């Protein structure tokens, strides 16, 4: 049953499943919550109906911006993530999810170049499915990915973020300098550095830094944010006071300059 921009849409009829088969599928999948991030409404609704018929709890939205609050509110086991999204595309959103551990990810795309698949997998996607695709094959891939350990269990000890020669272990709250020395960080500095690594080269206001690192509603003066950023900047500059790892954007906030890679 192929699906995609040029493929016919097939309606999944719940009545086509026998009662016993339907009950067994629901029992198999009932604990798994799947979020569909797809801007094509027809494909989004079809996938949601299909997955619900197979016993999954399916939620859906049309952009990465809409997905963020859902992921914060719900326990999502797997994200079906379209690449060509409005705003932040699927590659960018995949990268941000993986930096924070995040749920399992299967990327969906009409992009057919092998390099696109390589990029998706290197950014941390668990699988990559091209459009048009067969719903039965997609279901098999979903089940295969869900049999793997959750990302948090796979990466809690192993996840390393590298930038400018530094090695940052966010779960262990540990930072090693380019010369191999441990850089002491406070808890607040560690949380702030993780926010910067998740949002590299994006201008973040003081309010955004507070909300992302300490949680919405956390009371802290803007001047305290400036002091915290200043302390972290000094620790990341090493012996070179002119190293501009954290760039000040006048009247707007701060931007983390280095490229961040994931191991």
Strand (E) or helix (H) holding 178: none
Last residue of a domain, one of 107, 131, 154: 154
Are 174 and 92 part of one and the same domain? Answer: no
- Do both 140 and 184 map to the same domain? no
Picking from 130, 154, 178, the residue at the C-terminal end of a domain is: 154
pLDDT at 26 over 60: no
Q: What 3-state DSSP class applies to 160?
A: coil
Higher pLDDT, 156 or 262: 262
- The pLDDT assigned to 54 comes to 94
Rounded alpha-carbon distances, angstroms, from residue 110 to 6, 61, 84, 132, 218 = 10, 18, 8, 7, 42
Instruction: Looking at the structure, tell me whether residues 90 and 219 fall in a common domain.
Output: no
In this prediction, residue 217 carries a pLDDT of 55
Cα(232)–Cα(79) distance, integer angstroms: 33
Higher pLDDT, 221 or 153: 221
pLDDT value of residue 120: 73
Same domain, 142 and 48: yes
CB 261 within 8 A of CB 160: no
Per-residue confidence at 5, pLDDT binned at 50, 70, 90?
very low
Q: Give the pLDDT confidence score for residue 96 in this predicted structure.
A: 80
Q: How does pLDDT run across 95-131, given as a tens digit for each residue?
A: 788 776 678 899 998 875 666 676 777 677 888 888 8
Are 202 and 82 contained in the same domain? no
Domain that holds residue 72: 2-154
Confidence class for position 67, pLDDT limits 50, 70, 90:
very high
Output DSSP code: residue 14.
G
**Do 85 and 139 meet the contact criterion of CB atoms below 8 Å apart?**
no
Cα separation, 100 vs 153, in Å, equals: 12
Q: Which of 21-30, 35-44, 210-219, 250-259 has the lowest mean pLDDT?
A: 21-30
- Are residues 132 and 16 both part of a single domain? yes
- CATH of residue 143's domain is 3.40.50.2300
CATH code at position 173: 1.10.10.10
> 118 and 21 share a domain?
yes
Mean pLDDT within 167-175:
82
């Amino acid at each position: 049953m192929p699906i995609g921009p040029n493929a016919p849409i097939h309606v999944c009829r719940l009545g086509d499943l026998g009662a016993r088969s339907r009950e067994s599928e629901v029992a198999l999948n009932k604990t798994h919550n799947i979020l569909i991030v797809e801007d094509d409404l027809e494909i989004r609704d079809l996938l949601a109906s299909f997955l619900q018929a197979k016993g999954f709890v399916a939620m859906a939205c049309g952009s990465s911006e809409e997905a963020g609050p859902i992921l914060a509110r719900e326990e999502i086991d797997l994200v079906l993530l379209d690449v060509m999204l409005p705003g932040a595309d699927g590659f960018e959103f995949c990268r941000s999810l993986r930096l924070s551990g995040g749920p399992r990810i299967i990327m969906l795309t009409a992009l057919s170049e092998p390099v696109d698949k390589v990029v998706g997998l290197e950014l941390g996607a668990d699988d990559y499915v091209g459009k048009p695709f067969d719903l039965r094959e997609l279901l098999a891939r979903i089940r295969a990915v869900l049999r793997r350990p959750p990302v948090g269990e796979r990466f809690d000890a192993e996840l390393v973020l590298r930038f400018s020669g530094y090695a940052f272990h966010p779960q262990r709250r540990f930072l090693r300098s380019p010369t191999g020395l441990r850089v002491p960080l406070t808890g607040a500095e560690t949380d702030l550095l993780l926010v910067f690594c998740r949002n590299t080269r994006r201008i973040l206001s003081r309010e955004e830094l507070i909300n992302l690192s300490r949680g919405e509603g956390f009371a802290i003066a803007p001047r305290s944010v400036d002091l915290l950023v200043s302390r972290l900047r000094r620790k990341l500059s090493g012996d070179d006071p002119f190293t501009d790892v954290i760039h000040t954007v006048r009247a707007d906030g701060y931007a983390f300059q280095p490229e961040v890679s994931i191991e």
